[in-house]
Amino acid sequence: MKISRGAGKDPTRLIAGIAPSEYKVYDYLEQTAASTQTRDIAIEFVQKCKEYNLAKAEILNILNIRPSCEAALYPIIEDWDIRFSVEEGKEEEELGLLKTICQVLPPPPSVMESGEGIGVEEEDNPDEQQKKAVE
């Protein structure tokens, strides 16, 4: 008798011969920012990021994490201080990157949609705050 650890509780999942670990990965990815992105969105984002001279790994991390503020970009982009310093024009690049992220990438699935969080108001949503700050 096989023991399922919660990956295949849905009876429709018994049709395909897929390992329970693959279902767990799928269930996890449904809760991340990447779940709302399509191939077209990713391609458009990669094209728009060329002007910021980002490495492939940095672009991939931005796609996976979908940061919505400057502080979330610091650990993703190597040498942030040097590449996006306070020099003339660099600050505009930094804001441009954040604006590109907010415009091109869809917002991650909200906690309220999943039913896990109660009492999270729109004002507390960092994506909404970032959109207001960038505009």
In this predicted structure, what is the pLDDT of residue 62?
A: 93
pLDDT at 113 over 50: yes
Other beta carbons within 10 Å of 86: 8
Other beta carbons within 10 Å of 7: 17
| Assigned token pair, 7 | 């990956």
H or E element that contains 31 = none
> Are 102 and 68 contacting, i.e. CB atoms less than 8 angstroms apart?
yes
What's the CA gap between 81 and 38, in Å, rounded? 31
In this predicted structure, what is the pLDDT of residue 55?
A: 93
Chain centroid to CA 32: how far? 7
What's the CA gap between 60 and 54, in Å, rounded? 10
In this predicted structure, what is the pLDDT of residue 19?
A: 82
pLDDT 10s digits, 19-66? 888 888 888 888 888 888 899 999 999 999 998 889 999 999 999 899
Identify the sign of the CA torsion 47, 49, 52, 58: negative
